[in-house]
Amino acid sequence: MNDLPGHRWFFVLAALAAGLLSHSAGAEDFYAGKSITFIVGSGVGGGYDLQARLASRHLGKHIPGHPSIVVQNMPAAGGIAACNYIYNTAPPDGTVISLVQRNVLVAKLTYPGGTRFEMERFHWLASLNSETAVVLAWNETAPHRTTKDLFDKELIVGGVNGADPEITPRLYNALIGTKFKVVTGYTTTAQVALAIERGEVQGIADWSWSSIKSVRPAWLRDNKVTLLLQGALKREPELGDLPLALDNDKEAADRKALELHFTQKLAARPVIAPPGVPRDRVALLRAAFKTLGKDPDFFADAERSRQEIGIVPGEEIDAVVKLVASTPPEITDRYAKAFAPERK
């Protein structure tokens, strides 16, 4: 090929350039006239569902071709079913994405029998928020008024199968010595909230602070609940001096196990695409979420619907995934064993 005359080199290079331009144009044009199915790994009415529907109203205009976005719920197995579907069944062409529950990051440890995916192979497009979890007690039914009461008195809390409202209190019991009794079987935090109001349970051990403010602001305004503990890697300024769960660890391994659990909350509302989606389409979707994070109409809609949003770019979620995946075996073993005694 080095012996080609100059004019033939010109045609070869022109053909290569045309191919590259065609490839790029193909990515730009792919979504024209199409729709994207946005799977939500939780039930209707919960925080994940509300945020997915909010994002779906604005995301399409930031994707070349302006596809429509159709939301579908797949709450089975605490959102693990949605992850399994995206990994094994969904078409790997960029027409199906999913807002999954953050427990996907440690699902191999908490529900190894039901997990049929490798989290590192997903395309992590963005997270719709990061968050701090809180423990709260319903003042009409629970006698708990201080953090110390969690260690002295049983608190009956509602759990969402396979998700943080179930996993977190079990970890707290095993790692820091709380006395939660978990009633499982709910599919969304919205259902748990109704159960609290009906007196079926006394509280919840892991609910996003931003969700409480947006979904049940009257609870705070009317002093219906007592906040007892916050769960995150660092304190939420709005929560003042409310104790942090990490302040109660008893051993270094226990603290590391809790840190592993709370690292998920940096990617609290992760959006994924299947392995095998072409990289140029992944780049378009990631860019769309970044632009969404600067869209004033999106944030105005969020304010009207009383939702707190803070888009975390896909590259930052990649870093969280790598951090979790690189956790030393002795810590992942401690995490799994802490959850195992009460595993369903």
Chain segment 100-145, per-residue pLDDT in tens? 987 788 888 777 778 899 989 999 999 998 889 999 999 999 999 9
Domain with CATH 3.40.190.150 in the chain: 34-130+267-342
pLDDT score of 26: 63
Residue 135, SS3 per DSSP: strand
Q: Which residues on neighbouring strands pair with residue 73, listed in sequence order?
A: 40
Residue 284 identity (one-letter amino acid): L
The full DSSP string for 181-228 is: EEEEEESSHHHHHHHHHHTSSSEEEEEEHHHHHHH-HHHHHTT-EEEE
> Residue 27 — pLDDT band, cuts 50, 70, 90?
low
- pLDDT for 201: 98
pLDDT tens sequence across 206-233: 998 988 988 899 999 999 999 999 999 8
Helix (H, G, I), strand (E, B) or coil at 138: strand
Mean pLDDT score, 311-334? 90
Residue 190 zone, left/alpha/beta (φ > 0; ψ -120 to 50; rest): alpha
Q: What is the pLDDT of residues 70-93, one digit of tens each?
A: 999 998 777 789 999 999 999 999
Q: How far apart are CA 264 and CA 279, in angstroms?
A: 25
Question: Is 328 strand, coil or helix?
Answer: coil
| Strand 123-127, strand 133-138: pairing | unpaired
- Across 53-154, the runs of DSSP E, i.e. the strands, are 68-73, 96-99, 123-127, 133-138
Highest-pLDDT range among 16-20, 43-47, 246-250, 312-316: 312-316
Give the pLDDT mean for 42-53.
87
Q: Give 319's contacts (C-beta < 8 A, 6+ positions apart).
A: none
The answer to whether 111 and 336 have CB atoms below 8 angstroms apart is no
**Separation of CA 331 from chain center:** 22
| Residue 231: strand, helix, or coil | strand
Q: What is the pLDDT of residues 49-58, one digit of tens each?
A: 999 999 999 9
Dmax over CA atoms of the chain, in Å, equals 89
User: Would you state the pLDDT for residue 341?
Assistant: 52
pLDDT over 50 (residue 263): yes
Residue 318 has pLDDT above 90, yes or no: yes
Mention the CATH class of domain 133-263. alpha beta
Q: Is the predicted pLDDT of residue 22 greater than 80, yes or no? A: no
Give the CATH number of domain 34-130+267-342.
Answer: 3.40.190.150
User: What are the residue ranges of CATH 3.40.190.10 in the chain?
Assistant: 133-263
327 in Cβ contact with 260 (< 8 Å)? yes
Q: Is the per-residue pLDDT at 197 higher than 60?
A: yes
Residue 16: pLDDT over 70: no
Please indicate, yes or no, whether the overall pTM of this predicted structure exceeds 0.75. Answer: no
The pair phi, psi for residue 21, each rounded to 5°, is -65, -40
Please tell me the predicted confidence (pLDDT) of residue 169: 96
Nearby residues of 210 by Cβ (< 8 Å), 6 or more positions away? 129, 131, 307, 308
Distance between CA atoms of 181 and 205, rounded to whole angstroms? 10
Asked if the model's pLDDT at residue 17 lies above 70, the reply is no
Share of the chain above pLDDT 70, in %: 90
Q: In terms of DSSP H, where are the helices of 30-110? A: 47-59, 80-88, 107-110
pLDDT tens for each residue of 276-294: 999 999 999 999 999 999 9
Q: What pLDDT is stored for residue 105 in this prediction?
A: 81
Angle at 129 between CA 78 and CA 316, to 5 degrees: 100
